[in-house]
Amino acid sequence: MPILGGHVSAAGGALKAIDRAVELGFATLQIHPTSPQAWAKPAIPDDTAAAFTAGLQKNRLNSAFFHNIYLTNFASENQAGWHGSIEISKSYLQLSARMGVSGVITHLGSHKGAGLDAVLDRVVDGIKRMLAEAPADAYFLIENTAGAGGTIGRTLAEIERITERIWPEYQNVGICIDSCHAFASGIPIHTAEGLESFLQEFQTRFGLAALRCLHLNDSKGDFASNKDRHENIGDGSLGLEAFRHIVNHPKLQTVPMVMEVPGIENKGPDRENLQRLQALVTVASDPTIPFSATPRP
């Protein structure tokens, strides 16, 4: 059975996020531990971090993820922005290890039209500097993009050019695939054949163990539109059949699936969207899939 959940608010503290996830029936969750539009580093005391880890286990939540702030740009030519991206990401990774969080999902930024070749060394250098001061068991997850504005990571080939230079030194780098972003960037994951081809390419380039999270979002934009505009499950251009293929795919049953949809009442991922996904599930529950508050091996 797929591991389904969503992004929840951490307003009132991280422990409130667990309560919200449980109330909605989620098996996995994602939060912003700080404001996503500010450079402020998280300041969570040890007792709260320990209580969060215990809360995941007590409520049998499979996993939790942090989403990095939206300001990060590892390709930035602005020294303050580049160093800020390194420092905030490092602080998120350090906190994730303390809280039993399975990964820090990150947008790498934009080359702003210069092309990946022009910024690749800078991106790789920034990630390596960050990882050098982060716990080895804290996972930095690169998220694919919809491809607008020179964003880095619109294809698996682009991501591979980065990981192939990181992995010889640091293995705690994984990948998060967003369904809306993939569709908008021109990857036909909305068909069974397209999804299978995509997963085969992923396996060839990275190995499926590198796929540590899926963002399940429908798309307001059309196929290959490069528009990063999320829609509720089944209400967008991907449609319910696309998600039927995803949630039932045998290779994806141990990958946490996190919704970032607007919600029926525009309050974010909700029970209605979860139920839409659950109604598509035909695979049987597998009792061998463990619940865990730590990164998958």
Burial state string for 11-21 with b = 16 or more CB within 10 A and e = fewer than 16? eeebeebbebb
- Exposed/middle/buried for 27, CB within 10 Å: 0-12, 13-18, 19+? buried
Which residue matches tokens 């798309």? Answer: 219
Closest CA to 259 of 146, 178, 153: 178
Residue of 72 and 289 predicted with greater confidence: 72
Q: Is the pLDDT of residue 287 over 90?
A: no
283 confidence band (pLDDT: 50, 70, 90): confident
Q: Is the pLDDT of residue 203 over 50?
A: yes
294 confidence band (pLDDT: 50, 70, 90): very low
CATH code of domain 4-278: 3.20.20.150
Closest CA to 102 of 21, 2, 31, 196: 31
Which residue matches tokens 């990401």? Answer: 89
Closest CA to 139 of 192, 229, 63, 62: 63
Give the tens place of pLDDT for each residue, 205-250: 999 999 999 999 999 999 999 999 999 999 999 999 999 999 999 9
Question: What DSSP string runs through 63-126?
Answer: EEEEEPPTT--TT-SSHHHHHHHHHHHHHHHHHHHHHT---EEE---B-TTS-HHHHHHHHHHH
- Per-residue tokens: 256: 């946490």
* pLDDT of res. 202: 98
Average pLDDT of 111-120? 96
Sign of the C-alpha dihedral, residues 196, 260, 231, 113?
Answer: negative
pLDDT averaged over the chain? 95
- Per-residue tokens: 145: 């993009």
DSSP state at residue 41: P
Average pLDDT of 79-93? 98
285 confidence band (pLDDT: 50, 70, 90): low
**What is the H or E stretch that residue 198 is in?**
helix 192-205
Q: Would you say 243 and 215 are in contact if contact means Cβ atoms under 8 Å apart?
A: no
Give the tens place of pLDDT for each residue, 142-151: 999 999 999 9
Q: Would you say 71 and 37 are in contact if contact means Cβ atoms under 8 Å apart?
A: yes
290 confidence band (pLDDT: 50, 70, 90): very low
84 phi and psi angles, rounded to 5 deg: -65, -40
Q: Is the pLDDT of residue 110 over 80?
A: yes
DSSP state at residue 222: P
Average pLDDT of 267-273? 99
295 confidence band (pLDDT: 50, 70, 90): very low
Query: 4-7 and 218-219 as β-strands: parallel, antiparallel, unpaired?
Result: unpaired
- Per-residue tokens: 164: 């192939």
Q: Would you say 2 and 244 are in contact if contact means Cβ atoms under 8 Å apart?
A: no
Give the tens place of pLDDT for each residue, 162-184: 999 999 999 999 999 999 999 99
Long-range contacts of 75-84 (CB under 8 A, 24+ apart): 75/108, 75/109, 75/110, 75/111, 75/112, 75/119, 75/122, 75/123, 75/152, 76/109, 76/122, 77/122, 82/122, 82/126, 84/39
Average pLDDT of 261-286? 93
